[in-house]
Amino acid sequence: MITSIGYATLPVPRIGIVNLMPHAEQYERWLMPQLAAASPFEPVWIRLNERKFSLDDPAHIAQNYVSYADAITAAPLDALIVTGAAVEHLPYEQVRFMGELDPIVRAAADRGIPVLGLCWGALAVAHLLYGLPKNVYPTKVSGMYETDRLVADGPIASVLDDRFWSTHSRYAGFDDEALDRSAEVRAVARAVGAGTVIAESLDHNVLMHIGHPEYEGCRLADEYRRDMSAGLTDVLPPANVDLSQPVNRWRSHSLIFFASWVRLVNERVPAR
Catalytic residues: 119, 212, 214
- CA distances 135 to 82, 188, 199, 232, 267, Å, are 19, 18, 15, 20, 34
| 163 labelled ligand-binding | no
Burial pattern 198-207, b for ≥16 Cβ within 10 A else e, equals bbbbeebbbb
End-to-end CA distance of the chain: 10
**Half-sphere exposure for 48 (CA within 13 Å, toward CB):** 23
d(CA 190, CA 182): 16
140 is in an annotated binding site: yes
Binding-site residue positions for substrate: 140, 169, 226
Binding-site residue positions: 140, 169, 226
